[in-house]
Amino acid sequence: MTSVADWAEPNPVTENRSGVIGKGVDRYEGALKVSGTAPYAYDTVAPSPPAIGVLVTASIPRGRVTSVDVAAAEAAPGVQLVWSHLNAPKQAPRGARANPRSQRASNPALASDRVEYFGQTIAFVVADTFENARAAADLVKVEYAPEPAVVDFLASFDQATLPPDEEDVHIGDFPGAYGAAPVTIDETYFSPLQNHVQMEPCATVAWWEGDKVTVHTSIQMVKGGQHALAETLAIPSTDVHLLTRYIGGGFGGKGQPYDDLILSALAARALGRPVKVAYTRQQMFHGTIHRPAVSMRVRLGAEPNGRLTAFAVEAVTHCARAATFTEHAANFSRNLYAAPNRLTGHRLVRMDLPHAGPMRAPGEAPGMLSLECAMDELAEKLGLDPIELRIRNEPDIDPETGKPFSIRQLVRCMTEGAQRFGWERRNPVPGQVRDGRWMVGMGMAAAIRGNFLLPAKAGVRIDADGTITLRQGMTDIGTGTYTILAQITAETMGVPLSQVKVEIGDSDFPPAPGSGGQFGAATAGSAAFEAGMNLRRALTELAVGDPNSPLYGGPAEYVTFENGVIAIENRSETLAALVARAAPDGVYVEGSIAPAADARDYSQHTYGAHFAEVGVNMVTGEVRMRKMFGVFAAGRILNAKTAKSQITGGMIWGVGTALTESNAVDPRFGSFVAQDMAEYLAPVHADIVDLDAMFLDEADDKANPMGIKGVGELGIAGAGAAIANAIYNATGVRLRDYPMTPDKVLAGLMAKGL
């Protein structure tokens, strides 16, 4: 097995001779996207005109469907089928896994009369047009036998239990040390239920050819979608061809398949014609996953000099009864600050709400909103600068596991950020700085997010014209995956970017785990790199073994690849010439990557520091951003432009987290109040002012052969806490209930007599 030591050797990517690694090159698919010609799933042109399916969803949170009257819907113009649990095709039971290696189990739609959450699909209508399908869907009349439902999280803490297979982590003697600490903080923070609000709703176009189904869908994990559909339909996964080439935002919400995938495939089979199905904007809120609310209690005990002696982060969160998911909001805190006595853990309330699941840095995003404010509160109590407090608690080794860090530049992120942001302008006494009716303040927070590598493969071929094509069952959810795969391939092969093609999002291609958890670039990229290295070996062999090549006879160890030319010192030819002559059908090889055997011997994370300046309107309590800046250490950066776009995108979600994003559960109905993007308030352009970020030079040689890490989640981790701390610095009002909307801020101002 590989060891991290094997990755320390220089290689084409780390040497970066052409300089394309790290360069802010334009997005590979950018022109297609901005011109509206990138075919997203719903845009896919099927072999024949598709019928259109529309979902009918439940309007109660729990109970049974007692009757479904489909007569009017079936008689409506253009209607081709109407399904409910009474007549839907048989599917494998939920959770079934006929093939134990399937990455996802069966996920049937319309499987029974049970209603488990508001917005669950309970019927399905297919018609010749979208308009007819939607009109007919409205004619399906459903009756229910409702049952009592638990939907009020804050009123249900008595039902909280340990998540499955999980124990609290105790290190040292937290209660003793906390009780003895001269300075303590004990506060509870609340992060509300949030929705992903991807621009592109879930959508699938499906058609069959014999026993094989082709689906164009919008999903972050190619294999997960392929396997789920195969398991649900009880067919071999080789009979499912899944494509997901362009994805209009995932944010974790498209890590799993939904009913559009299953029902389009079933209906296409039943009707013998292509069928396409998309969720409506309203259906996305309940029918797909959300981030659950989290209540977090933080207790800190410190010496007067700021050294933490006791440290506890405990999170209570919720999930659906039938779909276990834990928002691991305390996990990040296990690796962040030194403290000898520690307690971290989670509790889970199972409720009758739609399914909770991963969303934009699951764990860190809500979790850091607690500890990173508690540290601010502790700093003030101790009379220390918040950065200094963090530096005094900087660990030498991982504070929980005792393992060495692969590399840790958190302190540099904070100090470099402070300098560039102008942290010295901050008045440590809150409520002192005014600009007309605006109270102005600054805050900071640390960022941390784990890094890991998953197994992946990639295939690369070179054709007789010298074009190099990378193929991988990977996805690009808008992050820049296409682009960085092209850069890695170009640099590995020593060819210009214009000579590289990237084809991803296809289940026929060598598998990669997809996009999520900021493992995508490192995982898919490392496999692409390994494939490229294998192609170099194959082409070297081809050249030195070909009597017609100037490289004939070697020595192979001196072969170089640069500018599309393969050479041994002054003997050279173009790759195109070599392939056209010696392998006119092209050369195709694959490569793979897997975690190193000793990868877990290191504590490996990405880090950052957020700085925010806000104005708080003294009259209205409105909070507006004035400036936001972040410094991040995330391994070697592959593309300055896409990485910065991704990390500042995360920071913008942090603005949403701190100021606007929340969906209220109406306990009378078990449903979410906001069901469109006018009511669910994600930040808009006008909310974002003077936003910038930078990356520290870094290469983590314990991470993978290229020393890269991910930036997908890091930008949001801690961002909202920096804003909350800035609100406190501006006003002296400490809010612990996110988001910090004008009503809450104003109540705080008024309580202070302002």
**Buried-state track 344-355, b at ≥16 Cβ within 10 A, e below 16:** bbbbbbbbbbbb
Query: Rounded to whole angstroms, how far apart are CA atoms 740 and 754?
Result: 17
**Phi, psi (rounded to 5 degrees) for 286:** -100, -35
- Looking at the Cβ atoms of 303 and 679, the one nearer to another protein is 679
Q: How far is the CB of 81 from another protein (least distance, A)?
A: 20
To another protein, the closest distance from the beta carbon of 394 in angstroms equals 36
Coil, helix or strand for 518? Answer: coil
* Shortest Cβ 130–another protein spacing (Å): 9
**Strand order across the beta sheet in which 114-115 lies:** 114-115, 63-69, 141-146
Query: CA separation (Å) from 309 to 185, 340, 383?
Result: 12, 6, 17
- Three-state SS across 221-238? CHHHHHHHHHHHHCCCHH
From residue 710, how far is each of 448, 462, 519, 637 by CA, in Å? 12, 28, 6, 9
Q: What Cα–Cα distance (Å) separates residue 374 from each residue in 100, 317, 714?
A: 45, 19, 20
Shortest Å distance, C-beta 113 to another protein: 19
By C-beta, is 198 or 663 nearer to another protein?
A: 663
Q: How far is the CB of 274 from another protein (least distance, A)?
A: 23
Chain residues that interact with another protein, rule: CB under 8 A = 59, 77, 118, 131, 134-135, 138, 282, 437, 619-622, 624, 659-660, 664-669, 671, 673-676, 678-679, 681, 683-687, 741-743, 746-747, 750
Nearer to another protein, 683 or 707 (CB): 683
H runs (alpha helix) in 276-407: 281-287, 364-382, 386-392
Shortest distance (Å) from residue 685 CB to another protein: 7
Nearest CA to 403 out of 15, 702, 627, 193 is that of 702
CA atoms of 653 and 725, how far apart (whole Å): 17
User: What single DSSP character describes residue 150?
Assistant: -
> Strand 341-351 and strand 433-435: pairing?
unpaired
* Contact between 85 and 66 (Cβ < 8 Å): no
Q: Radius of gyration over alpha carbons of the chain, in Å?
A: 27
Residue of 169, 518, 520 whose CA lies nearest to 331: 169
H/E element, 725 = helix 719-731
Tokens of 459: 């295939």
DSSP of 93-134: PTT--SSTT-SS----SS-SSEE-STT-EEEEEEESSHHHHH
Of the pair 517, 683, the CB lying nearest another protein is at 683
Q: Identify which of residues 79 and 229 has a Cβ nearer to another protein in the complex.
A: 79
Closer residue to another protein (CB): 546 or 622: 622
Give whichever of 221 and 625 is closer to another protein, judged by the CB atom: 625
Q: Tokens at residue 442, please?
A: 């600054």
β-bridge partners, 143? 67
User: Which of 314, 380, 590, 713 is an active site residue?
Assistant: 713
Q: Name which of 101 and 668 has its Cβ closer to another protein.
A: 668
Residue 71 or residue 747: which is nearer to another protein going by CB? 747
Output DSSP code: residue 497.
G
* Strand-pair category, 240-243 with 212-217: parallel
Residue 687 CB, shortest distance to another protein, in Å, is 5
Query: Could you tell me the smallest distance in angstroms from the CB atom of residue 505 to another protein?
Result: 30
**Residue 243 vs residues 29, 87, 219, 579: alpha-carbon distances, Å:** 16, 29, 9, 30
At its nearest, how many Å lie between another protein and the CB of residue 694? 25
**Cβ of residue 369: shortest distance to another protein, in angstroms?**
18
| Nearer to another protein (CB atom), residue 538 or residue 689 | 689
Active-site residue 713, yes or no?
yes
Q: Which residues are catalytic?
A: 713
